[in-house]
Amino acid sequence: MSKLMEKLRREAKKQKKAREERSSGAGVEWFSAEKGDNIIRILPHWKNPDELFFKHIFIHYGIELKKDNGESVTISARCLRDFDEDCPICDVHDKVIKKDKDKAKELRAAERYLYNVIDYKNRKVCVYNAPTSVHQGIMEWVEEFDTDVSDIKTGRDMKIRKVVDPKKPPQFGTSYRVIPSLKESAIPAKVMPLTKEAHDLDTVYTENHRESMEALVSDFAVSTPSSKKKERKKVEEEESKFGDGFMDDEAEVDEVDEVETAELDDSLPFSADDDLDEELKRLGV
């Protein structure tokens, strides 16, 4: 084997790994809201500023993927119906939904919206895997202000407020508020260079995991062990206590599909321009 071929094969493996990481979401810096206030700036479309700045997708969680070395890891994967293909998980979901709502719920694809955002605290461009209700909250403010909140010169900073009720389990007691700045502003000069680091969202969650999906629903359909029945009973008890806030697919990524859109007069700490400037100064922006 020539030295050139050794180098080419190493480079081919390197590029294959990089491609797989991009398509599965690995290697992407993800935004994860911390308890309390998280100030972000939504970025424009990653290629064309005249296009929508988010990507609407559906994701399945809890899929077991067997790696080349024999190890197994649990991943999330894009629903194949997003690519106009039959999805093994959704096909089974559609068959059982009328007979077993609990089983159908475990198979249901989670609706998500991907955003490129600047995380001011960590000075990074991250991908925000936002649940539907957070997306709806953002869109309500777009309608309220009738403005493009992603514009790098005249957009608006956003505060995602994460509230956790200590009296409830995290998957039941976590909620979010979407609070915008009341003034338009340019992205601060110190972080403006980060706008060039926006991720190509068309390349995130694109890997096809059909075999792993088929294995998941195959195991799902073969048997329902007693432990599974006990777990479902526990879920029913929790749902009866905490209501519709429980969504098991949301818990996989610490995102519960509950959000409140803040009223203007309730946004005062963030609405006051001086206070916002002080917060950005504190973050060194």
Residue 152 CA from chain centroid, whole number: 22
Contacts of 3 (CB under 8 A, 6+ apart): none
Task: Decide if 140 is inside a domain.
Answer: yes
pLDDT at 205: 86
Task: Decide if 13 is inside a domain.
Answer: no
Residues 60-105 have pLDDT tens digits of 988 888 877 778 888 889 999 999 999 999 999 998 888 888 888 8
Task: Decide if 207 is inside a domain.
Answer: yes
Residue 120 burial by Cβ neighbours in a 10 Å radius (0-12, 13-18, 19+): buried
Task: Decide if 177 is inside a domain.
Answer: yes
Task: Decide if 179 is inside a domain.
Answer: yes
Residue 140 CA from chain centroid, whole number: 19
pLDDT at 5: 74
Q: Distance (Å, rounded) from C-alpha 213 to C-alpha 263?
A: 42
pLDDT greater than 80 at residue 130: yes
CB contact at 8 A, 66 and 72: yes
pLDDT at 221: 55
pLDDT greater than 50 at residue 231: no
Q: What 3-state DSSP class applies to 95?
A: helix
Residues 241-276 have pLDDT tens digits of 433 333 333 333 434 444 444 443 343 334 445 556
Q: Which domain holds residue 119?
A: 24-282
Our count of domains for the chain comes to 1
Residues 152-162 have pLDDT tens digits of 999 999 999 98
* CATH code assigned at 260: 3.90.198.10
- Its pTM stands at 0.72
Q: Which residue matches tokens 């197994």?
A: 72
Average pLDDT, integer, range 160-177: 83
pLDDT greater than 70 at residue 142: yes
pLDDT at 261: 44
Q: Distance (Å, rounded) from C-alpha 266 to C-alpha 264?
A: 5
The beta strand positions in the chain, using DSSP E, are 36-42, 54-66, 72-78, 110-119, 124-131, 157-164, 174-180, 259-261
Q: Which of 106-110, 115-119, 161-165, 263-267 has the lowest mean pLDDT?
A: 263-267
Task: Decide if 14 is inside a domain.
Answer: no
Task: Decide if 15 is inside a domain.
Answer: no
Estimate the crossing angle of helix 88-96 against helix 210-222, to 10 degrees. 30
pLDDT at 189: 92
Task: Decide if 190 is inside a domain.
Answer: yes
- Max CA pair span of the chain: 72
